[in-house]
Amino acid sequence: MPTTTEVSNWFGDLVSKPKVVAEAKSVKDIQKILKDPEKFPSPVRAFGSNHSTAACAAADGGTMIRMKAMNRILEITEDTVTVEAGAILIDVAQELRKQGKQFFVNTEIGNLSMGSAACAGTKDGSMPGEFGQVSSYCTRMKLVLPSGKILEASEESDPELMKMLRCSYGTFGVVTEATFRIRAMEPMEVFHETFSVKDYCARLPELWARGYSMMYYMFLYDEKVTCEFRKYNPKAKGLRELHVWPLRNYLWSDLGPRTCFQAERDIADKKARYKLIDVFGGTWRWNLENLIKSKNTAAPDQMIRYPEVSGDNRYTFSLWAFPESEYAKILPAYTKWVKSYYKTKGYRTNMLHVGYRIAKDQMSTLSYSFDGNVMTIDPVSTANPGWTKFLDDFNVWCSERGGAPLPNQTFGFTRAQAVKALGARLDTMAAKRAEFDPGNRLLNPFFKTFFGV
């Protein structure tokens, strides 16, 4: 039976008040919900682990469909896996591993539901010759349309529709099943190097030419960047080094945010507080450089299984992507801006920034790397006081410099900023969406604004 409650995202800063929260255990359950607007009012939004930092799943006064019970792995073949939408990435990855298989993109948030993975944006440093977005490897989807009818689409049957479905965010229909390409597991090398911001930007062409994936940790108040380099290493022999990713994940998902949260809570003097955080950042860099390195790790070990309910180690983030050709100018200017922002407005993020190099990718219509390779700037915080206002100003700064937001992971961007970044592709998506959902059954206020409805 449906219930009425409040539902928040994982971090807890976005709270929705739907009239109904319904548990979906089958496709028929979803069909019944969508065909009965009196019992299940609009907007209708499906959700899984709800890790989005934007209000994608919100359905105030409407209906939220919890998808977690639809979590079966339906089929694993030599090069694909088919799953129900409520399964989560890390669970599927563990089953694939038993068969010597892995995903192409092993993104950090292992709680990512496979329905979201199919139709929403993600990010990861692109491995050589590969994409950095999970949905780019989705080859087939099954959806329940607002009418209650079933739609099945695939790369073979309708490649152009698939490009739209991969970035539809549940606004065309509720995804119930998806198929993803997979590959054989292969040993992966990882190591870290630290640069000054100036040196990092000057050496970017050289670093790109190395042929490694690049994710990077930015300690901008110290003007330091620690870059994580990854590449498959088929020549590796023997047992995989199992300590590497658990240690990195502990630093990133537990010790780091917990330390920064406690410093924010317990140290009233701002100068002393951020001095401690910057010293901790130096320790973080040392660990990355000296301990998080190996010729032989497993890519799926990068995934983190976050607790269902967040605690003192929770953190949040936002991001903008920039053409990599402009990044050597963008990052120093941004570093100067955040340091000036702290001096003039008294606010700075209480965690580090991170970023990713993501390959050109036209597998989805709204891909943020549609026009070429991009590099991102992702501020991270425990949401210390001033965070939301900072993100408003951050969005303006990034948009003015040609950045592109990611709808489900960029907090507070405006319709005008989305139009500037996505142009006619956003209009194309809006028109196609209206064909599938002419009554706007699946549109919450967030997506009404995004699509200009």
DSSP string, 245-265: HHHHHHIIIIIHHHHHHHHHH
pLDDT score, position 313: 93
Answer whether 140's CB lies under 8 Å from 166's CB. no
Domains of the chain are 7-66 (3.30.43.10), 73-185 (3.30.465.10), 188-417 (3.40.462.10)
Q: Exposure pattern of 72-85 as b/e (b: 16+ CB <10 Å)?
A: eeeebeeeebbbbb
Answer whether 381's CB lies under 8 Å from 350's CB. yes
Task: Name the helix (H) or strand (E) containing 283.
Answer: helix 270-290
Return the residue matching tokens 């682990």.
49
* Per-residue confidence in pLDDT tens, the chain, 453 aa: 444 589 999 999 999 999 999 999 999 999 999 999 999 999 999 999 999 999 999 999 999 999 999 999 999 999 999 999 999 999 999 999 999 999 999 999 999 999 999 999 999 999 999 999 999 999 999 999 999 999 999 999 999 999 999 999 999 999 999 999 999 999 999 999 999 999 999 999 999 999 999 999 999 999 999 999 999 999 998 767 778 999 999 999 999 999 999 999 999 999 999 999 999 999 999 999 999 999 999 999 999 999 999 999 999 999 999 999 999 999 999 999 999 999 999 999 999 999 999 999 999 999 999 999 999 999 999 999 999 999 999 999 999 999 999 999 999 999 999 999 999 999 999 999 999 999 999 999 999 999 999
The Cα 259–Cα 313 span in angstroms is: 8
Phi-psi region of 381 (alpha: psi -120 to 50; beta: other; left: phi over 0): beta
Return the residue matching tokens 């990855």.
93
Helices (H), 102-241: 114-119, 159-165, 197-202, 204-209
The Cα 414–Cα 449 span in angstroms is: 8
Answer whether 24's CB lies under 8 Å from 69's CB. yes
DSSP 3: B
pLDDT score, position 4: 56
pLDDT score, position 1: 43
Torsion of CA 289, 290, 294, 295, to 10 degrees: 80
Distance of CA 323 to the CA centre of its chain: 18
pLDDT score, position 218: 98
The CB density around residue 28, as the number of other CB atoms within 10 Å, is 11
The Cα 4–Cα 280 span in angstroms is: 43
Q: Where are the beta strands (DSSP E) in 348-397?
A: 353-358, 374-381
First to last CA, the chain: 32
